Amino acid sequence: MGSHFWQGDKPLKQAHKGIPEGCYEEEQGLKGFYGPVSHLVKPEPSTRWVNIEGPLKPHMFDLVKLGSDSKKNKQSDKIKLLYNSDVSISTWKNLKQTSTAIRNADASTLYFCHKGKGVVFTEYGVLSFEKGQYLVMPKCLTHFFSAEVSFELLVVENHTSHFMEPDRGIAGRNALYDAQTLQRPNLEKQRALLKKLDLNITQIEVQHNSEKTVFTYEASVFDTISWKGDLYPFTLGMDDIMPIMSHRSHLPPSAHTTFVAKNFVICSFLPRPLEEDKDALKVPFYHQNIDYDEVLFYHDGDFFSRDNLHAGMMSFHPAGFPHGPHPKAVKGVGNKTHTNEYAVMIDARWPLKMTEYAKQVELADYWQSWKS
Ligand SMILES: [Fe+2]
């Protein structure tokens, strides 16, 4: 790669600021938002395509329309939507209580609670979770979900590594979220709750090499007397994440990284003030995130960069074309001073495939939605 270079009518200084009136900036970058990068100024956004022929296009899924048989309450009701060899993304709806304990030997799992609340019993103690919280369940840790009313999870399975905290760099180790805000399992509370609910869980369904095997015991599998160590499940609430922003210039999505894994990252987009500088871009910049396929799950709030969105939708923008805000969002930013969106992004290094379930609830005309 060469050093920085520019061409055109006048030098461009700071990315995402001072974009000539009526023009659009497009970022083209390698390695997520960390690699070599250029910014191009164009009279129209590159999302102005009038036709797309071939398999590559932007996708939007309305997961609210996905069915699930709540009466049977089978653990297999988890519906896989997108996947590659590193990561699988599923939705798990109308879940009230798993029929056995679960142990996933194929993946570390990140659950994100989209609706409802509940508890998860583990060999390390019980954890409570509710809407807007992440639950990190390391590979092979036995767990059992229970709730009074049904809840809904977005499930991200990590097949080739484990979920780690992001490097906070110059922002310091307490930026984004403080380790002290992670909720740890409670063994004492678990004993009392299992007794109160009269739960005696004696079976574990283990997923290994994509096959299910059930281990049965005579007595409860949650019988830990004590434990120590730095491997355990935990929860992190979106409300305990302190978004990083600059009042002068739009920061890239990577500033909102919540967890990192081998070949994919999880980011959380949360309510925050918009940039104050008059010449600062206030909507996400148009970009080709050249090395990554991008998935965005819309959890709650007013979705800032797109029109006609509701909670429970999921967009999938593979690499290979630029994407960015919808024209109405660019015009509509007006005098807005804050965003009020809650969304989860999964950026995958290698191409993701769609399942038939995802295709069933795809919005057919989404690729045309950037037309002004
Ligand atoms: Fe993106």
Residue 361 CB neighbour total at 10 angstroms: 19
The residues with which 59 forms a beta bridge, in sequence order, are 316
Q: What is the pLDDT of residues 146-157, one digit of tens each?
A: 999 999 999 999
Expressed in angstroms and rounded, the spacing between residue 274 Cα and the centre of ligand 1 is 18
pTM for the model stands at: 0.95
In angstroms, the CA 178 to CA 172 distance is 10
For residue 68, name the pLDDT band (cuts at 50, 70, 90).
low
Question: For a pLDDT cut of 70, what percent of the chain falls above it?
Answer: 96
Q: Who contacts 204 (Cβ-Cβ below 8 Å, separation ≥6)?
A: 100, 101, 102, 103, 142, 214, 215, 217, 221
Q: Residues whose CB is under 5 A from ligand 1 (ion)?
A: 289, 294
Range ranked top by mean pLDDT from 93-97, 115-119, 303-307:
115-119
Cα-to-centroid distance, 290 and ligand 1 (Å): 10
Run of H or E including 331? helix 327-332
Report pLDDT for 108.
Answer: 98
The residue that leads in pLDDT, 302 or 225, is 225
**Is the pLDDT assigned to residue 187 strictly greater than 60?**
yes
Mean pLDDT of 77-95: 96
Please report the DSSP string for 155-193 in residue order: EEEESSS--BPPP-GGG-TTSBS-GGGSBPPBHHHHHHH
Lowest mean pLDDT: which of 68-82, 292-306, 352-366?
68-82
CA of 324 to the centre of ligand 1 (A): 7
Mean predicted confidence (pLDDT) in 229-246: 97
φ, ψ of residue 63 to 5 degrees: the values are -70, -15
Give per-residue pLDDT as tens, 3-23.
Answer: 888 999 878 889 999 999 899
pLDDT of residue 3: 87
All structural domains of the chain, each given as residue ranges with its CATH number in brackets, are 31-60+242-368 (2.60.120.10), 77-238 (2.60.120.10)
Tell how far the Cα of 295 is from the centroid of ligand 1, in angstroms.
8
7 CA → ligand 1 middle, Å? 25
- Determine the distance separating the centroid of ligand 1 and the alpha carbon of 29, expressed in angstroms: 11
What does DSSP assign to residue 275?
P
Instruction: Tell me the pLDDT of the chain averaged across its residues.
Output: 93
pLDDT score of 69 more than 70: no
